[in-house]
Amino acid sequence: MATNSLDQSSVASVWAPRLLSVFRIVTGILFLAHGLVKLFGFPEGAAPGQVPLVSLFGLAAVLELVGGAAIVLGLFTRPVAFVLAGQMAVAYFMAHAPQGFYPVLNAGELAILYTFAFLYFAAAGAGPWSLDARRGA
């Protein structure tokens, strides 16, 4: 039996936290982009100012922008991720579920995926590459 010089548990203990940080950063960038499109029409999408801020859609856009930025930075990750998970669950049940039961048919897959990604961050935290780690939270 050959011995493996790389212990599986040591590889996992080194890379799992780093990949958590990468997953959080990528998820945050993608989520932040939704807020940018809704609020500013950047990079492409609705014209700026078309989203009334005093509406559920406007609140969602602000949460996506500010919450996405906080997730990217890893700042107050657990509470922010918990709020964003709730936002995406509400978005699914308000916008997608009434259009049909199956997420693949009601275009709700992304809302569900974000919900569970944010629940994971709320439980797991931000990872080592974050402002939370830097401030010892």
pLDDT, tens digit, for every residue of 80-128? 999 999 999 999 999 999 999 999 999 999 999 999 999 999 999 999 9
Q: Would you say residue 51 lies in a domain?
A: yes
Mean pLDDT of the chain: 92
Report for 3-7, 55-59, 115-119: range of highest mean pLDDT: 115-119
Average confidence (pLDDT) over 130-136: 97
Q: Would you say residue 101 lies in a domain?
A: yes
Which segments of 41-76 does DSSP mark as H helices, in order? 56-62, 68-73
Q: Would you say residue 6 lies in a domain?
A: no
Q: Would you say residue 93 lies in a domain?
A: yes
pLDDT at 1: 46
Q: Would you say residue 2 lies in a domain?
A: no
Q: Would you say residue 8 lies in a domain?
A: no
The Cα–Cα gap between 69 and 82 comes to 15
> Is the dihedral angle over the CA atoms 91, 93, 94, 96 positive or is it negative?
positive
Across 21-32, b (16+ Cβ under 10 Å) vs e yields beebbebbebbb
For residue 48, give its domain range. 17-134
pLDDT confidence bin for 75, thresholds 50/70/90: very high
Number of domain units in the chain: 1
Please say whether the beta carbons of 41 and 85 come within 8 A: no
Q: What angle do CA 132, 112, 126 make, to 5 degrees?
A: 10
Is residue 37 classed as helix, strand or coil in its secondary structure? Answer: helix
Q: Would you say residue 37 lies in a domain?
A: yes
Position 54: which residue type? V
pLDDT confidence bin for 46, thresholds 50/70/90: low
The Cα–Cα gap between 66 and 45 comes to 19
Q: Would you say residue 64 lies in a domain?
A: yes
